[in-house]
Amino acid sequence: MKHNHFSRLNQYRSMWVLVFFDLPTETKKDRKAASHFRKDLLDDGFTMFQFSIYMRFCASRENMEVHIKRVKRSLPEHGKVGVMQVTDKQFGMMELFYGQKPTELEKPSQQLELF
């Protein structure tokens, strides 16, 4: 019984960070900056969800804050970047489609069941 309560609680404690961006790619310098930003996200454990949307699982809000600070430190000089936080519970309620067919949400491999 206690285990069930913990995992339900954990769905609200564990978080997902989503980073959305629209970066200019007109010049070689812009393309390099955009590429560098993507590489920084990947190096910090983010996974590409769609071309300009990356996501990362965080076991706690404290851990999430660390990763959000890293994203802010690597922001490119130009372009729009959004950072969104959602609970694991909210993330799990996302509906995904390929064309008109519903599809399963594949969680990245870094999400490990600890208990």
106 compared with 6, residue with greater pLDDT: 106
How confident is the model at residue 105, as a pLDDT?
75
Q: With beta carbons less than 8 A apart as the criterion, state whether 45 and 56 touch.
A: yes
The residues near 14 (Cβ < 8 Å, ≥ 6 apart) are 57, 58, 59, 60, 87, 88
Which DSSP symbol is given to 109? Answer: T
pTM: 0.80
The per-residue pLDDT for range 32-91, each reduced to its tens digit, is 999 999 999 999 999 999 999 999 999 999 999 999 999 999 999 999 999 999 999 999
Number of H helices, E strands in the chain: 4, 6
The per-residue pLDDT for range 14-41, each reduced to its tens digit, is 999 999 999 999 999 999 999 999 999 9
Neighbouring C-alpha atoms within 13 Å toward the C-beta of 60: 4
Q: With beta carbons less than 8 A apart as the criterion, state whether 33 and 23 touch.
A: yes
Structural domains of the chain sorted by starting position, each given as residue range(s) with its CATH number in brackets: 2-103 (3.30.70.240)
How confident is the model at residue 9, as a pLDDT?
57
Q: With beta carbons less than 8 A apart as the criterion, state whether 45 and 111 touch.
A: no
